[in-house]
Structure 1
């Protein structure tokens, strides 16, 4: 066994001993370690300085309670977290997730992935993540406001424009960001750079709302063009019906593809004529309804219960945009059977390790989340730049920058894979390219 292999095994074993009850975090670390060995063999100094031991341990992590009063006057208490994982290349940057499944393992997995995603953007931002097990679904605006105000009252002690800049994620959209910013401003005065994803009237950036979904398609477009294809006339299966999915559907249609499906936690809709993103947006973002309502409004659409990845239909591209581990090995085999040529992750780690192995064994083009869905955080960083300069760029300017960033992410991942002997493996390429920048910064800054 090589020195690099022994080192990886020892660090993995220590993490498993320390965090045996954090399966999502362990999965993220394992996925990363399986691809990074060629870098350690070329750079023994990373092994000698125990760089991975430092990289996989957050610089800071904290948990706090969030007490709030519901509309019935009852006091509720939720649990919240913020993990400030790595600041080697810039201030911590990463979203806040409000969902019943949130726990420390999920926040650590997301924060760990965020390190490399943010590095890939080429912008000076480190990795962090946070959230709470609060569920905004079914809550009134008043309840959401009271919760977010209580949440920010504690969080504001630990963040700042040059320290840690949160954003939205699942369950945290424009409404929640507005309430969070209002409470921060109330306690600290106006600092536009403290949150990203803000409304346009108080420091937000044009194209931020669309950024993750648009960025996903710009990445897919770059990958296809590199293999002599385009999105024109491609049939696409999309999961999810939130922000990422909505704007992925829009951009896919603009680039000539037909999106066949969108979904939520109950089921999915299928329309061979193409999903209309405006109808999905009205149902999910304005009315906060269920995706089954789509079939009631669009005559050519049909609604089905269950997972969209169990639905057997021919298509070309798979874009999972819902949540982590939504595709298992059995479903991945159906993706291959149905003729998909490419899978690109709009959600964070949407495929299990077994599913990813199925895709890679079948030689599908596979775009990992840290590369394919980096558009959101990229435009968040551009929002930070605009806030610092007291400027507001046009939609076209931000969108052009986003396109360039996503094209660069694809190319840098492809180049890194080629340089380290795994040409065509875009998962390994993204991990390597993202890691190298962070590793060099950590080495330059000493043992910290």
Structure 2
């Protein structure tokens, strides 16, 4: 693919998928799938547009907006919007490509897409964010719809931003529809949606732990390192605490807080962090306060993986490529047995190779790795459940949504597990590759739908 070298994030995502397909027996028994992969790697549509808005001083501001409508074989394009200075087509293509197969693993009728803008909401007033969101949606509204493309939130896009964009869409179209997910609870949003990615990652890990231990172990007593401090990390931490685990860390782009007592980071700490994140403040702003200082230390410029000491489970919950080869090796030396990505492509390809080599070499005492497209599918799964509720004009209870989320994450795990056994036969005593299994299961489902539609032959 000649365009890949200038798009490093997308190239990484493509190679990660393609290499596992090629290393399996899939292409041996189904060589025609190589053609399907080539077709699936090209987006159905790329939309790029300018976003012109005014700051509070009345000065003209210009940003670039994007929507990558990657694949609609299984349903309307589905994937978040990211507002961050780093946003470009390579990052959005990587995220959209991952989203195709992640959505396929949920079992729901959703295609894959991603979008956003190189706008930085940090330091902006509510009015500036509102004006940007309205300008952004003025163009995006021409390309989305409840049965066409249903965006959601992502980094830099939370409930406030979704609300501003939804309001603008309604003004422009005079339609009230499920054209965005992550909406407010009183106007079409689903219960459990903010919690879903973090909860879902922990539910997935529960199945990993149970399978590896023959049902003998759970989160109880486990030491868990978590990166990030947004929704994913916060709710993963709260669920770990609820299940009896100890949270060792949280982090942001400036540094990490590391637990210094056996109690770890508690629910009160997480609540405080949630409050400061709404104010766009950093962990450093609370790390030295009395509530934190007695139980945690702050390490500027660090990620948690080499700072936490002995650890059983790692959950990358911040952004892409946040676990390097050296950090992967450090986690193995620290005793880590399970790693599941709450973030998208949280580990570098070199780190994944370290984890997979450990899985093969140490067998029963290996580290078992789950990729984001499987482990963090809970967020988009509940987005899909929100779409279903909007279409039928009903609202499910928290308990109903949570039970559906648990079932989806169980199916994600079992689907990847059984597919790996079929196409990448593990050696005796070796855990199946959840990377290969998840990639193959998601890809085959999408490829078969594309073939039925006449997209490849």
Distance in 1, matches of 2:242 and 2:99, equals 29
Please tell me whether residue 308 in structure 1 is matched to residue 295 in structure 2. no
- SS of alignment partner, residue 362 of structure 1: helix
Please tell me whether residue 274 in structure 1 is matched to residue 264 in structure 2. yes
Q: Is the 8 A contact 1:269 1:294 kept in 2?
A: no
Match among 283, 286, 290 for residue 282 of structure 2: 290
Which segments of structure 1 move beyond 4 Å, counting only runs of 4 or more? Answer: none
Identify the residue that residue 367 of structure 1 maps to in structure 2.
370
Matches within 5 A, 1:269-418: 269-271=257-259, 272=261, 273-275=263-265, 276=267, 277-285=270-278, 287-295=279-287, 296=289, 297-298=291-292, 299-306=294-301, 307-363=303-359, 364-418=367-421
- SS of alignment partner, residue 192 of structure 1: coil
Deviation readout 1:88-143 (Å, 9 max, x if unpaired): 01010000001111000000000000000000000000000001110111111001
Q: Is the 8 A contact 1:294 1:301 kept in 2?
A: no
Distance in 1, matches of 2:145 and 2:338, equals 39
Identify the residue that residue 452 of structure 2 maps to in structure 1.
444
Q: Is the 8 A contact 1:99 1:171 kept in 2?
A: yes
Q: Is the 8 A contact 2:258 2:308 kept in 1?
A: no
Matches within 5 A, 1:61-80: 61-80=46-65
Please tell me whether residue 163 in structure 1 is matched to residue 148 in structure 2. yes
When the two chains are superposed, the root-mean-square deviation of aligned CA atoms in Å is 1.1
Identify the residue that residue 90 of structure 2 maps to in structure 1.
105
Deviation readout 1:208-257 (Å, 9 max, x if unpaired): 01000000000000111111221111000000000100000011111111
Matches within 5 A, 1:205-284: 205-228=190-213, 229-271=217-259, 272=261, 273-275=263-265, 276=267, 277-284=270-277
Please tell me whether residue 126 in structure 1 is matched to residue 126 in structure 2. no
Contiguous gaps of at least 5 residues in structure 1 = 1-14
Q: Is the 8 A contact 2:79 2:150 kept in 1?
A: yes
Distance in 1, matches of 2:9 and 2:411, equals 29
Change (3 A) 1:18 1:310: same
- TM-score of the two chains, using structure 2 as the length reference: 0.92
- SS of alignment partner, residue 68 of structure 2: strand
Distance in 2, matches of 1:112 and 1:410, equals 20
Contiguous gaps of at least 5 residues in structure 2 = 360-366, 427-431
- SS of alignment partner, residue 131 of structure 1: strand
Distance in 1, matches of 2:226 and 2:94, equals 23
- SS of alignment partner, residue 34 of structure 1: helix
Q: Is the 8 A contact 2:424 2:433 kept in 1?
A: no
Matches within 5 A, 1:45-64: 45-47=32-34, 50-64=35-49
1:312: how far off? 4.8
1:447: how far off? 2.9
Q: Is the 8 A contact 1:422 1:428 kept in 2?
A: no
